Structure 1
């Protein structure tokens, strides 16, 4: 499956979760439901994946966790906040660099319309519009 197909499937599944649950719940509820939706669509999904910091020749386990790792190639960070901040985008970009993954999605479920809470981030290329013209 191509990366754009994976991210498109993730966005579609997230839209379904958001339409069903609405805004205002805890991040953990959205994570569990999105994990279910993605697995139901045949994707390999790991949740709360440990991510060590590699500095020189040492690996430092400092407790960083990726919310979802989809098909071992796309990192999904979930938020349930009033507004996405630059620090949220920087966090995902750092996770992409540390993991070696190329693409990440930042999904904020605490918005009236989920399409307003989606950011697609590319490792080494900054922030790009999400798939299908959604940003």
Structure 2
């Protein structure tokens, strides 16, 4: 395993652990900003670097088009997107993968604070291939 893959693995493990801790304490039913605030607090308490509302530039045909705001970036390695709804919108995974592709990062986590906690790990190879999605939770 490459060093950057190992570091991303440590960061994703920490985010998933913090996700379940926040879910166990707060439960289901709050707005996304509440879960984001709790995640930031939990991750910082665990010694991780967390940046909120990161702006990334979206390019079209090699030219800057607009900017998009990401929920969190953890340890400068993992994009984190939070959803809080009864049912995860069908577009959420694609949206998160597109956010990831707009960065130089390769790993994202989609955290669903729904009736049951669910997370999805998305990986984008920077070689222009489609991303991969794996899920977990409950």
Q: TM-score band, normalised by the shorter chain?
A: 0.7 to 0.9
Alignment of 1:103-118 (within 5 A): 103-112=107-116, 114=117, 117-118=118-119
Q: TM-score, normalised by structure 2?
A: 0.85
Distance in 2, matches of 1:35 and 1:86, equals: 26
- What pairs up with 1:1-135 in 2 under 5 angstroms? 2-62=7-67, 64-112=68-116, 114=117, 117-123=118-124, 124-130=130-136, 134=137
Where is the strand percentage greater, Structure 1 or Structure 2? 2
Contiguous gaps of at least 5 residues in structure 2? 1-5, 125-129
Counterpart CA distance in 2 for 1:43 and 1:54 is 30
User: 1:84-111 CA deviation, whole Å, 9 max, x = no partner?
Assistant: 2331000011011111210110001122
Write out the 4+ residue segments of structure 1 that deviate beyond 3 Å after TM superposition: none
CA RMSD of aligned residues (A): 1.6
Query: Hey, what's the Cα distance between the residues in 2 that align with 1:110 and 1:129?
Result: 14
TM-score normalised according to structure 1 size: 0.86
In structure 1, the gaps of 5 or more residues are: none
Distance of 1:77 and 1:65 partners within structure 2 = 10
Q: 1:125 to 1:56 in 2, by over 3 A?
A: closer
- Tell me how many residue pairs correspond in the alignment: 128
